[in-house]
Amino acid sequence: MTSIDVLLERNAELGNAVPGDRSSPKPSMQVAILTCMDSRIRVFEIFGLRQGEAHVLRNAGGVVTDDMIRSLALSQRKLGTREVLLVHHTNCGLELVTEDEFKDELEQDAGMRPTWSVEAFREVKDSVRNSMNRLRHSPFVPYRDNVRGFVYNVHTGELTEVV
């Protein structure tokens, strides 16, 4: 049995038991949460979220890329979000690579160098600051006054705000 088969079985067992309002694509709390794809970050559990309360956007590192800006522009302009919560974390895989080394590896394997940035970093707080700065200066994201960034400790569950 594949992992997808296991997940489908779990879904069948769960049924419609997940609490929350599914009546609208507009999040009732008017907040978008940007975080890493790391499976140790259980966004709904960390914040006690119910379905329908927040948009949750994820990518490697939780960094603000052009695609995150695209999603946030839609989230704010068409679906009513007004706040942005950035959550990066300790022990992130992007701390283990460098921009050039990873691009070299991809170029060697694929025969071409990617045009996109890996967004590797050494200090997670600096990555949070860079992402907040990108959001606060994007002309496509109209609600930038309530952008806050945090580091989630994957071992303790503690959230530390980055200013």
Query: Is the pLDDT score of 16 beyond 80?
Result: no
How many other CB atoms are there within 10 angstroms of residue 37's CB atom? 11
Copy the structure tokens of residue 116.
């996109």
Burial class (CB in 10 A: 0-12, 13-18, 19+), 154: middle
pTM metric for this prediction: 0.92
8 A C-beta contact, residue 153 and residue 160: yes
Largest CA distance in the chain: 48
Find all residues with CB under 8 Å of 146, minimum gap 6, and list them: 82, 83, 84
Q: What is the pLDDT of residues 59-98, one digit of tens each?
A: 999 999 999 999 999 999 999 999 999 999 999 999 999 9
